[in-house]
Amino acid sequence: MSAGDRRVFIKTYGCQMNVYDSERMADALAPGGWRAVDSAEDADLVVLNTCHIREKAAEKVYSDIGRLREISQARSAEGGRLTIGVAGCVAQAEGAEIARRAPLVDFVVGPQAYHRLPQLVAQVGARGAAGGAALVETEFAPEEKFARLGARAARGPAAFLTVQEGCDKFCAFCVVPYTRGAEISRPVERVLAEARALLEAGVVEITLLGQNVNAYHGEGPGGPWGLARLIRALAAEGVGRIRYTTSHPNDMDDDLIAAHGDAPALMPYLHLPVQSGSDRVLRAMNRRHTAEGYLAIIAKVRAARPDIAISGDFIVGFPGETEAEFEETMALASAVRHAHAYSFKYSERPGTPAADAPGQVPEAVKAERLARLQALLAADQARFNAACVGRETEVLLERPGRLPGQLVGRSPWLQSVHLDAPASLMGRAARVLLASAGPNSLAGALVGPQAAPRA
């Protein structure tokens, strides 16, 4: 295999930050002649970029490693070699256990060390067919990681940009503080420089990422900047559409709320997890906010931006949750009327305080509560989508649709919109009439003559 025909397949599990990380891994490997392919069968290097949030996350990774065995054996029979790496949060949490349990794996790299991916791959290659124990790299050095990553490639009109990593909140159900480390914010100038490179590559919309993105406090001119100031600076650089995720209610300061009203580039969409409507459950979760406080924040944001779409996260069946406490969650959801929301049954994460808490709720009870909550949330989403019908708005057209002559994009409220449009509009924000609504997407039609694509 020559340096010019190296092929890498990166499988991404989980959150938007993992999507960003996978793209940056590909960027880091590109100078060494690695090009991305769409399947493990076509690859010489497979990297599983894992997520530890979902239930049985580690077991799913081991299952995928098992499925790679046949490809690896076939490659060996041809006189070649398949290199396999595990990255991301499961890699950070499991570390040496992956090396012990899955001998097929050549290296394990945590989310704060993937800038060393080219060196790890080179080390594996230098060992040759003799192999050896998996290389394990799980150090915490996040700013070093960003400083050492090279040029950023754009992969479409919308892009993720990580500005903050780690978490100091220590919610009782969550592994993120243990797999991503303490909160750290990237310096302002490095964020702006990456954004400028994306703009030059044709990116129209940037989503700012962080485990607690609204806790951003990056060093900039005059001292630390908050997220609102960063958003306004990005708008001044020419970013036409800005989003951010994921937020914590405790970090929704007045300046950020005001930005939703006075920064036109900030899209009218806020993802703000609440998790429960019961104050007792919130205390047990170590969330450090109340249901009343959450509702007050939503009211202030809606006062600043009346057309905003509110999204959220819910966990049902947290240890000790009673039926009455679940009904408090239903009442909060009814009061907010989320445009979109994610909801899950509580599941144990080894090493977290809630895993050993008394009062574990039976699976059947959790499933029944989740079904009731999801029915309410689905009705609210359908109601929000229906209320958008008849609006004219800018839709960022991102990809071809399923039908000939169809493009699919995102509205300012993050809804999927499909419409008939010429391919020349791909990658642009087009003026669209939202004509009809389904439960998960809307149909639109182009409004008037559209400007010619930018050169």
pLDDT tens track for 28-66: 999 999 999 999 999 999 999 998 776 677 788 899 999
Residue positions forming the annotated binding site: 15, 51, 89, 167, 171, 174
Condensed to tens digits (0 to 9), the pLDDT of residues 332-372 reads: 999 999 999 999 999 988 788 998 899 999 999 999 999 99
> Residues comprising the binding site for [4Fe-4S] cluster?
15, 51, 89, 167, 171, 174
Question: Cα(first)–Cα(last) distance of the chain, in Å?
Answer: 38
pLDDT score of 310 more than 80: yes
Rg of the chain on CA atoms, in Å: 23
Q: What percent of the chain has pLDDT over 70?
A: 95
Average pLDDT over residues 88-112: 90
What band does 453 get if pLDDT is binned at 50, 70 and 90? very low
Reply yes or no on whether the pLDDT at 141 is more than 80. no
| CATH number of the domain located at residue range(s) 6-140 in this protein | 3.40.50.12160
For 94-103, the CB contacts below 8 A with 24+ separation are 94/58, 95/136, 95/138, 96/136, 98/61, 98/134, 98/136, 99/133, 99/134, 99/136, 101/62, 102/62, 102/65, 102/134, 103/134
Instruction: Please indicate whether residue 96 or residue 361 has the higher confidence score (pLDDT).
Output: 361
- The domain locations on the chain are 6-140, 152-267, 273-386, 392-446
H or E element that contains 258: helix 254-262
Asked if domains 6-140 and 152-267 share a fold, the reply is no
> Model confidence over 398-431: pLDDT tens digits?
999 999 999 999 999 999 999 999 999 999 999 9
CATH number of this structure's domain 392-446, picked from the four choices 2.40.50.140, 3.30.530.20, 1.10.3260.10, 2.40.30.40: 2.40.50.140
The pLDDT value given to residue 421? 97
Identify the band that residue 143 occupies on the pLDDT scale cut at 50, 70 and 90. Answer: low
Structure pTM?
A: 0.87
Confidence at residue 455, expressed as pLDDT on a 0 to 100 scale: 34
Q: Using the predicted structure, report yes or no on whether residue 321 has a pLDDT greater than 80.
A: yes
Residue 303 has pLDDT above 60, yes or no: yes
Q: Is residue 182's pLDDT more than 70?
A: yes
Looking at CATH, the fold of the domain delimited by 152-267 is given as Transcription Regulator spoIIAA (3.30.750)
**pLDDT(452) > 50:** no
**CATH code for the domain defined by 273-386:** 3.30.750.200
